[in-house]
Amino acid sequence: MIYDLLIIGGGPGGYTAAERAGAAGLKVALFEQNKLGGVCLNEGCIPSKALLNSAKLYNQARDSQVFGIKTSETSYDQSQVIKRKNKVVRMLVAGVKQKMKASGVEVIEAAARISGRDGDLFCLHDAFDKKYSGRNLIIATGSVPAIPPIPGLKEALASGFVVTNRGILDLTEIPSHLVVIGAGVIGLEMASYYRTVGSEVTVIEQQKKIAGETDPQISELLLRDLERKGIRFLLGAKVTNVGTDFVSYEQDGIIQELAADCVLCAVGRRPAVSDLGLETIGIAPENGAVGTDAQGRTNVPGVYAVGDVNGIWMLAHAAYREAEVAVNTILGREDKVSYLNCPSVIYTSPEVAWVGLTEAELEQAGKPYRKVELPFSYSGRYQAETEREASLCKLVLDEESMTLAGCQLMGPYASEFIVAVGIMIEQKLTLDEIKAQIFPHPTVAEVIREAIFML
């Protein structure tokens, strides 16, 4: 059988592309060797949020007296939390399967490898050596954890003393002391979770700041808040060795040893491009990723790459959009990915979210700008629901166009309304046009409106 579209990988990019293409009438085959939903649904975004929500409820229960609620002793059942997390994942995976069925997508539960061309067709072979041919091909194989060449790390991973994003979400017991290698999104979220539910947590980060490329002011504010909650940060520190129950690190030229019950390796992820057979059709990874243009096209006509494998944003919501654009391009519809309005979120407590350009990026580009910074306390709902937690709303305005250039947020619900600012930036709404918009009251999002009128 000849398919209109072959897709390798059933994560956010792969299953979204399959659904859109199938709904448009294309004959689609989707290959997934593990579980539909990919890392995001099974080992990342969704299960981590299930855990973080349980931790938030636990924290609220412990601190509820200030809101007039008195409770007896509060306890936390990690095994029950994991059971609920697994139930949520099963339900969502079942939902993805139903979408594939409704869209007429053929799902092949096996690994697939590109085996070359047959005229104008791309050829794949699955793990059972069955051949499939298609007119178009989408590579959506996602990413895998980056494992740095630290002495003892591979052995510690094999023994279970060190875990990656997959293992940290399945621990049925709370470790007494968790060491986290890396202060990026995964490291910070899991550090926040396990500290809330009772672990002593130490984060080792090679850089001098946390949270990667976030705005330095937001990064520093988040650092201080997490330290206040008891997380210890070792910045500018490099892990030099991993043993059976300890981690050695070097900081300021001094090597020290840190005992631990569990270690999370969270130094980032890399595109999954190994053993795909890319060379058989003339694709060579660029800096370890499959390079694409704004339509998701690779250097080979008819072949596209979406999601983490292209190494651009490595975010599930970016993969959704990239998949839609790739399918639209296959269908002959004009479309392209605009990354300017792609939000990023760290689901710590408090949340951090940002979109667009930072103040530093505008300065580097030599663009005239103005900025405003407000705490979330300008929102009545924030005042009603919190006890003055750390927060910040930062907007930067491009003075040449009088449009928003970027937004950085730290505070409750930041993940829920950052998208509104992204739309303002993408649509190039002027300051006056944004002022004319009506924000619902009372909402935490009103801090954006308050800030807009101060620009």
Residue 322's identity, in one-letter code, is E
Are the C-beta atoms of residues 121 and 286 closer than 8 Å to each other?
A: no
Task: Say whether the peptide bond before residue 350 is cis (omega within 30 degrees of 0).
Answer: yes
Are the C-beta atoms of residues 336 and 325 closer than 8 Å to each other?
A: yes
DSSP state of 44: S
Angle between helices 45-62 and 78-102 (to 10 degrees): 140
Q: Which residues contact 153 (CB under 8 A, 6 or more apart)?
A: 147, 162, 242, 265
Q: How far is CA 163 from CA 227, 314, 400, 406, in A?
A: 23, 21, 49, 35
Q: What backbone torsions phi and psi does residue 76 show, to the nearest 5 degrees?
A: -125, 125
125 part of the active site: no
Are the C-beta atoms of residues 108 and 29 closer than 8 Å to each other?
A: yes
Strands (E) across 127-167 are located at 131-139, 143-145, 162-163
End-to-end distance of the chain based on CA atoms, in angstroms? 60
Of 125, 177, 317, 441, which one is the catalytic site residue? 441
Are the C-beta atoms of residues 143 and 12 closer than 8 Å to each other?
A: no
The catalytic residues are 441
